[in-house]
Amino acid sequence: MPSPVMAAIKDVTDGVRLAPLWWRLGLDQTASRFQRSVLGPFWMACNLLVVAFALAFLVSTLMGVDMSKSYPQVVAGLLAWSLVGTTIAEAQAIFLYNAGLMQSQRLPLSFYVFLHAQKAATNFLTQMIAFWAVMLVLHKFVIPHWTLIPAFALMLLIVCLQGFIIAIPSTRFRDVAYMMSYIVQLLFYVTPVFWMADNISAQRRWVVELNPFAHQVDLLRAPLLGHAPAVNDWIWVLGTTGVLALVAFALLAMFRKRVVFWL
């Protein structure tokens, strides 16, 4: 019988080999949410743009920031948050949402986590197209920095790792799902998504500097606005990835066989 560590490695490799299946299933599930809709997934982009306008207006009113400058920052921040923070709230239901499939088909746990990441990537890319379209209309469009590609890939890896870390305990303890919604809301307000870090005093700058989610948002927002992310952002995100990988792998090795019995 393989050791838990080898079984966890096999689970991940099997999930990678099933990429054509979870890729197609993710597209089908995304499309099914918008059946008989004209705009389809672009409704999510509409929501992003409207919320960004409201928050940019609020920031410009309260902080005296020119809205023409704040709106690109806010909408790019919200777009980044859709991959950084929103996926955390959604990760608690990865196995619960697919309970029927898990109980009828023998698929690796990583299959469902990769499916979750695929849908998150589809949502992000759909909203990014709308983001660029609006920037063109507002004459604010800039060519994205090439670092957007590795930053996007690294964030998808983090989405997968967080999927294991959140979904496994959420399946065993359903209270985790409720707790995660409150945590994500708190993280949204303490992370410079719609407000700018430059607008806070130096004494409170630690709220941003010690916040790993702030570095993840900036890692995506900077190339979206045509700039290279700061080296410090790369260091923080890579370090966070390493820690998450250790925790995710440990949880997968210890509880891989139990998850289906917790459904």
**Could you tell me the pTM of the whole model?**
0.89
In a domain, 30, yes or no: no
Q: Output Rg (C-alpha) for the chain, integer angstroms.
A: 19
Q: By residue range, what is the domain housing residue 16?
A: 4-23+40-257
In a domain, 75, yes or no: yes
In a domain, 262, yes or no: no
Residue 186 lies in a domain: yes
35 in a structural domain: no
CA atoms within 13 A on the CB side of 26: 20
Tally the domains of the chain.
Answer: 1
Task: pLDDT tens for the chain, 263 residues: list them.
Answer: 468 888 888 999 999 999 999 999 888 877 776 666 656 566 666 767 777 777 777 766 666 666 667 788 888 888 899 899 888 988 888 988 888 888 888 889 999 999 999 999 988 988 888 888 888 877 888 899 999 999 999 999 999 999 999 999 998 888 887 888 888 888 888 888 887 777 677 777 777 888 999 999 999 999 999 999 999 999 999 999 999 999 999 999 998 888 888 87
- Nearest CA to 26 out of 156, 146, 128 is that of 156
